[in-house]
């Protein structure tokens, strides 16, 4: 079997698309690698590589950036792929990994285009009643590399149209109740009408004007890992995941307002969704709570609110109002660090660590207590509490202590207040369905010199008889590389190229909405 390397895709090669590379080697080596170089001459720079274990396999590159000034970006231009082996495979020094390599086959050259493209190929909008106007902005979903773009209708229903600026509009006529509207929109360089065309297919679910707006609701919570800035073009990857998962509303954590617009508003404007972000209270926005909400359904800001430890958002779905509370609890004194290795046992050492945090006080005194007026009428207006708790669930751990807290207090307090953990309602057996959300990329704790204790620390809780959890699952896209510290990756960490833009898995719950 000769050494060889080839592109393992028939899709157009462009930034934003995954670049799968197939390799075969005659002799297996622990440090064989596939390296991606920017440029095709002697000055070509290695911007990314991944190891090629075994004698055959596929290596993925999924970096994206429209800013070529980022030295680790995979932006439009010429590239070279090289299948390489190390001269001194036993050395772990960074210079050995970067420099003491030899090509195992001829290089493979290719080009990434700067043609415009949509971050998703298709998506479904929120439900629309027959006779009511449709308005779906698309410009925020297109990457145009700074060029002016002209939008046209490629195909679809007669009653749907698109403006040159990319806004889909129309009013569904009578007789189409229970069906879906469809339109395919094309986008191309306004200065080159004969140039490459990008397309996106939009589906509009239609309901009778006498029907409830929705029977089901897809709710998510997602920690953004410092505004999704730890990976290349994180915003695009967030938007793609939300649309491909058909999310209706998502509670976000680690979203800041270092500058305006903040992450929540920026994402909402690109999606054409409603948003609610924690208000800017301090001169230093880092001091403000790092939470926000995105919703495809309207938000009533006049009756929404916030506290020091939460953001409460009134989301209106026709005649139904939801009170959605987004939280991000104290991250200090992480209890699982003190558990016996490989166990989920709430020991005295874990108890001591948990008591050193503020999570129980936050949940009891600063979240549940001020939400009491809303909790008391949850059968009329359901209440959701979503977020990163920075602690596991008492439903997942056993305990060996006999003094409070007996187990993880944040989730226990919610259960005592009659809130339902949506994931455990659907998956009651923690051994069969652990639902891990921490962490798909943080697998090693350098300061502890041990594997990271993986657990379920992100939650979607609800209270109120009008919601019933039908399904709940964790969400991670692609195969994320770990956020490890390694001298070989000092210049360009592998996780920068992850398709998944976070260090947490998201939790997605589908609810049935029960109507009176």
Q: pLDDT per residue over 420-459, tens digit each?
A: 999 999 999 999 999 999 999 999 887 778 889 999 999 9
pLDDT of residue 331: 95
pLDDT of residue 193: 83
**Secondary structure string (H, E, C) spanning 127-143:** CEECCCEEEEECHHHEE
pLDDT of residue 286: 66
pLDDT of residue 496: 85
pLDDT of residue 232: 85
What stretches in the chain show pLDDT beneath 50? 89-98
pLDDT of residue 88: 54
pLDDT of residue 43: 83
pLDDT of residue 436: 98
Q: Can you give the length of the chain in residues?
A: 516
pLDDT of residue 174: 83
pLDDT of residue 96: 40
d(CA 25, CA 19): 20
Task: Annotate 202-267 with DSSP letters as a single string.
Answer: EEEEEE-TTS-S-SEEEEEEEE-HHHHTSSTTHHHHHHHHHHHTT-SEEEEES---SSSS-HHHHH
Residues contacting residue 448 through CB under 8 Å, at least 6 positions apart: 337
pTM of the model: 0.91
For the sheet with 506-513, list strands across it. Answer: 274-277, 291-295, 249-253, 216-223, 506-513, 467-475
Q: Assign 80 to helix, strand or coil.
A: strand
């Amino acid at each position: 079997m000769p050494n060889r390397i080839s592109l393992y895709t028939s899709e157009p090669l462009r930034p934003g698309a995954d670049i799968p590379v197939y390799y075969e080697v005659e002799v297996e080596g622990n440090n064989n690698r596939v390296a991606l170089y920017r440029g095709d001459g002697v000055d070509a720079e290695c911007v990314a590589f991944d190891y090629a274990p075994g004698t055959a396999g596929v290596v993925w590159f999924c970096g994206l950036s429209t800013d070529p000034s980022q030295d680790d970006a995979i932006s439009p231009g010429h590239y070279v792929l090289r299948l390489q082996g190390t001269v001194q495979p036993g050395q772990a020094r960074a210079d050995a990994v970067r420099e003491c390599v030899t090509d195992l086959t001829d290089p493979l050259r290719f080009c990434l285009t700067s043609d415009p493209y949509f971050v998703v190929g298709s998506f479904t909008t929120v439900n629309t009643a027959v006779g009511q106007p449709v308005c779906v902005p698309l410009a925020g979903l297109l990457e145009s590399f700074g060029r002016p773009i002209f939008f046209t209708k490629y195909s679809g229903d007669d009653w749907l149209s698109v403006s040159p600026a990319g806004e889909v509009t129309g009013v569904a006529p009578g007789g189409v109740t229970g069906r879906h509207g469809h339109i395919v929109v094309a986008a191309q360089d306004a200065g080159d009408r004969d140039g490459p065309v990008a397309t996106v297919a939009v589906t509009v679910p239609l309901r009778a004007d006498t029907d409830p707006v929705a029977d089901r609701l897809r709710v998510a919570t997602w920690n953004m890992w410092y505004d999704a800035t730890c990976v290349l073009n994180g915003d695009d990857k967030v938007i793609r995941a939300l649309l491909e998962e058909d999310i209706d509303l998502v509670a976000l954590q680690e979203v800041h307002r270092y500058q305006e617009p903040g992450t929540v508003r920026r994402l909402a404007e690109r999606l054409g969704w409603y948003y609610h972000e924690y208000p800017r209270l301090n001169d230093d926005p880092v001091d403000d709570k790092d939470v926000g909400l995105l919703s495809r359904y309207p938000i009533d800001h006049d009756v929404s609110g916030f506290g020091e430890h939460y953001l409460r958002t009134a989301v209106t779905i026709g005649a139904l109002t939801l009170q959605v509370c987004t939280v991000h609890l104290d991250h200090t004194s992480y209890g699982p660090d003190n558990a016996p290795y490989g166990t989920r046992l709430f020991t005295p050492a874990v108890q001591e660590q948990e008591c050193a945090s503020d999570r129980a006080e936050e949940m009891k005194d600063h979240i549940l207590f001020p939400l009491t007026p809303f909790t008391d009428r949850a059968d009329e207006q359901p209440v959701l509490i979503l977020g990163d708790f920075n602690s596991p669930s008492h439903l997942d751990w056993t305990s060996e202590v006999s003094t409070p807290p007996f187990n993880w207090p944040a989730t226990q307090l919610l259960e005592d207040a009659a809130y339902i953990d949506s994931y455990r309602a659907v998956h009651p057996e923690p051994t069969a369905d652990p639902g891990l959300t921490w962490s798909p990329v943080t697998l090693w704790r350098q300061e502890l010199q041990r594997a990271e204790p993986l657990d379920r620390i992100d939650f979607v809780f609800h209270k109120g008889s009008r919601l019933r959890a039908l399904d709940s699952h964790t969400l991670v896209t692609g195969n994320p590389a770990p956020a490890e510290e390694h001298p070989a990756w000092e210049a360009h960490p592998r996780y920068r190229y992850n398709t998944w833009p976070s260090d947490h898995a998201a939790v997605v719950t589908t609810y049935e909405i029960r109507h009176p």
